[in-house]
A and B are shown apart, each in its own frame.
Chain A
Amino acid sequence: MSRDDDSCSNDSCGCGNNDNTEDESFHPMGADHESEMREMLDDTEYDTDLGMDMAEDAMKLIQGEISEAEFHDKYNEAVVNEFDVDDRPTVDAFEEMKASENDDEHDGIFERLTGDEGLVEQLKNVDADTSQSRRDTMKKMGAGAAALGLGGVASAQSSGDPKDDEYGAEPVGDTSASGTQLGMVIDLNRCDGCLECVTGCIQENQTSTGANWMYVLTYEDEKSDQENFLVRPCQHCTNAPCEKVCPVRARHTRDKDGIVLTNYEICIGCRYCQVACPYGVNYFQWGEPDVPYDDLPGSENDYEELKQMPDEDRHEQLVDSNDHIHDDRGQWADMRPPQGVMGKCTYCPSRQDGHQGEEKQGTVACMEACDAAGMSAIHFGDINDPESRPRQYLKQRAEQEFERDTELDNGEQWGDTVTPWAKLSAFKLLEDLGTQPNVTYLGNEPGPEAEQIDGPVTYEQIGVEDNRKHHLDQFTFGAGDD
């Protein structure tokens, strides 16, 4: 919804005038922190306003709203005036941009063919690796399969037809580097176990008691003495076992952004996805959902009707009705599942598709809650896009680690012989199972003997049921309280 709309009943989304949003500071830690910074800058001999402006734009840079080159360009003159040099790391991006501008404008044909940026150079640089992307292989396989009369596979390919269910036929997923793949970078060092992300997810999705799609484990590990956290959303694996085993194609990967969704209209509740997933992110709707269907925003839309509509009309309908339960295909796949059906973290497709307003696109409820809480541990976005928030964050943290490492003092330059990534403790969960998860963690990896313990904030304290079995036991016939 638009920022001027006062009718939103969500407390902290930032819309309208009648919420108690956090103070209007650009800094995630709030206006108080901002004034503190301002005071510190005042104490120096340099321009405070320049510093504050650059900080604000630096935030935008991290969030992917402006590019490195733009950031560099905007402040280049002012920085040179103030400091006589501009050695910011963004200079590289800036120079590249300048160079390509010059080339394009002035090169003659000969230069274009044989110069540095010329065709010949480009051809030389083409990757000699002839292995085609998996997506291409699958398309070819589709043709081959069709030839074998196995028409099902071929027809299940995304055909570009807007009415196509866009499931894609590859349960293995597309491992090519091109195409959007939504994922996360989660900085476990910034997480403090506040569980705001858990609450945010529950509120967003109206999940039933104990179905904690977003989950945070505080754990102890013989390897380290410190308090450890593990934030566990669905990993939205590229090679998702849950998708492979689904007998009805309810569990599928959405082609356009690589998120793994459950089609609530088709799922038969066999729970095989839950059994195949090594991470334990699936939560079945064992009984009647806590929140009635009619209370869900968008439930007035009929999914059969939605599918019949042309794309633009459907999109308009979904945006107008602030529909949280259907994605842009008109498929019911968001928010809590109905009885007898499987649910899990969805990466909020109704947000990605713009149904909750443009400003929510590219965000997820858990990240929003984490940002609002001041931690910004969760960074969600297109992990194939170097400009995206998670990628930028990863780069920024890598650079920080590199800087921090004083032992490496033998003249090595950034990017030359030492990759900054080596300094960063980044891992993926259960990577050797081959699921290709799309969540990259920064921080300590849990060892084999890691065990969950109560955190600084317990689930009980925030009123969330942790042991769902305890809750479900009351419904057991003949042994419960019925």
Chain B
Amino acid sequence: MSSRTPNTDDIVRPMQSTAKWYYVVFGAASILALVWFGLWSIQLSRGLAVTNLADWGSAGGVTWGLYIGAFIWWVGIAHGGIILSAAVRLFGMKRYLPVARLAELLTIGALSMAGFYIVIHVGRPDRIVTSVVQAYPVTVHQSPLVWDVTVITMYMVMTLTYLGLTIRYDLARLRDDLPNILEPVYKVATIGYSEAEDEVIERIVWWLALGVIVMAPLLLHGGVIPWLFALLPSMPGWQGAIQGPQFLTIALTSAIAGVIILALALRRAYDWHHILTDDVIRGLTLWLGLFSLLFLWLQLQQVITGVYAAPLDQRSFAAAKVTNPYYQFAIGVVLLSLAYIFAQAVKAHLFSPMRSLAASLLVLAGTLTEKILFVFEGLEYPTFDMYYNTPGHYFPSPIEIGSLVGTIALCTLFFLVIVKVVPVIELHAIEELRGEGHSHVEGDD
């Protein structure tokens, strides 16, 4: 644990110098992203036949698979932003102020990847905007997919607005330390800025955080996204009110896991151990534990309801689910992470940032697996299962797996770029840590 005092030099360091590791990571991520674009081009020209997807029913396949599972996963990761910002600005948990902006930026990156997955998933991406927009006045009243598009757009723009507003304070004060080449960008970003606005902006983003903390976890990942599945009459594995809460827990776990990974990576890269302290990581780790417990608890609800005396169609799905080794893996790794988190809560010396990193990676692997399984297993076990080709069959194809690697690489590239453009740690955080804090956060820790 460092006893250094944080100062503004720390947060502008990424913009002032570039270490060797940066080029290596940038190069690797670019190559992976390019490979993905190549694969995507093959799909764009030959159609979705290049995946392992097929029609369900007489055709023996499933029509939604990894692309949709990964889409849900990325939206889950994207919830870190609002959770941290709400924690800080609404609940007064100033402890997490240093990690709040990182989490917000993760929201932007992850939501972009989620949106990208929709473009990848549809058969006719060339029409997606025109077709959706022309029908919107009617379809908004009836289609869960359109609700999904609406709320994701709102979450994205509210987060962008939040970032756009809060960055003004930082940019105005750190201007001289920022790269000159980006001066036009900073000029636009701080248009009309004066110190008098600080208090007003704080209030504005407080209202914004209030709106988003209700909208995003409860109505996006715990709302319109599970409703895509739960409202349908066709697939018993998807039906039911539990999907809302279940998906919410996935958002919470994936979000915190994502923030932990990001924080650990960046503090190592920029020597921020005295800002993104072990204390912060410890706190996040405990929250990860709580959310993982809730996730497992809701899985338990589904398993017991499905296997005890459920109607036949639900029973087939539940049986398939629990006997699937990939499902067992998903639950297993989350349990493992939970075991560590519980242990270090009891015996503090068991904590280590590396172990928290491992736990976060395992949780992300587990939630991704569980989500992909949910999507395609639901389709393998429809209500109308008379066809001899049901249950259907599916395993992600190379291109689909490539999309995972590709989107992770793209998200990495996004961070590599953004870290050079804006300070990814709030100036308020530095001030707070220095005891100069005058940020208008509610209450005290």
Contacts and interface: CB of A to CB of B under 8 A. Distances in A.
Interface of A: 150-153, 155-156, 169, 171, 210-212, 215, 217, 219, 230, 241, 244-250, 266-272, 274-288, 339-342, 429-430, 433-435, 446, 448-453, 466-470, 472-473, 475-479
A151 B137 CA distance: 7
A472 B49 contact: yes
B406 interface: no
A341 B123 CA distance: 6
A464 B139 CA distance: 37
B235 interface: yes
Interface stretch (B183-191, B391-399, B428-436): B391-399
Contact of B124 (A249, A267, A467, A470): A267
B232 A475 contact: no
A84 to B, nearest CB: 53
Contact of A280 (B46, B58, B142, B144): B58
B141 interface: yes
A435 B52 contact: no
Given A268-B131, A468-B59, A479-B397, A340 B124 contact: yes
B397 A247 contact: no
A453 B386 CA distance: 9
A466 B50 contact: no
A359 to B, nearest CB: 31
Contacts of B146: 247
Range for the number of chain B residues in contact with chain A: 35 or more
Interface in B361-403: 379, 382-384, 386-390, 392-393, 397-399
A88 to B, nearest CB: 41
12 contacts: A156-B138, A217-B387, A219-B386, A244-B143, A249-B139, A266-B135, A269-B123, A276-B233, A278-B382, A280-B384, A285-B123, A446-B386
Interface in B29-78: 39, 42-43, 46-61, 63-64
Nearest to B61: A469
Given A152-B140, A477-B399, A270 B121 contact: yes
B128 interface: yes
B137 A150 contact: yes
Contact of B138 (A169, A287, A453, A469): A169
A250 B131 contact: yes
A286 B121 contact: no
B123 A339 contact: yes
Nearest to A466: B58
**Across chains A and B, which 9 residue pairs bring their CB atoms closest together, nearest first?**
A269-B123, A152-B137, A280-B57, A340-B123, A478-B398, A287-B49, A468-B59, A469-B54, A475-B49
Nearest to A141: B141
A91 B397 CA distance: 67
Interface of B: 39, 42-43, 46-61, 63-64, 121-125, 127-128, 131-132, 134-146, 149, 228, 232-235, 312-313, 379, 382-384, 386-390, 392-393, 397-399
Contact of A477 (B60, B313, B397): B397
A267 B131 CA distance: 7
Given A268-B132, A286-B54, A467 B123 contact: no
B247 to A, nearest CB: 17
Contacts of B384: 278-280, 429-430
Contacts of A219: 386
A276 B229 CA distance: 9
B398 A477 contact: yes
Contacts of A287: 46-50
Nearest to B387: A452
B55 A275 contact: no
Nearest to A151: B137
A435 B384 CA distance: 13
Nearest to B60: A469
Nearest to B313: A448
Nearest to A245: B143
A44 B380 CA distance: 61
Contact of A274 (B55, B233, B383): B55
Contacts of A288: 46-47
A152 B388 CA distance: 43
A434 to B, nearest CB: 7
Given A249-B139, A478-B399, 5 more contacts: A268-B123, A279-B57, A280-B55, A430-B384, A477-B42
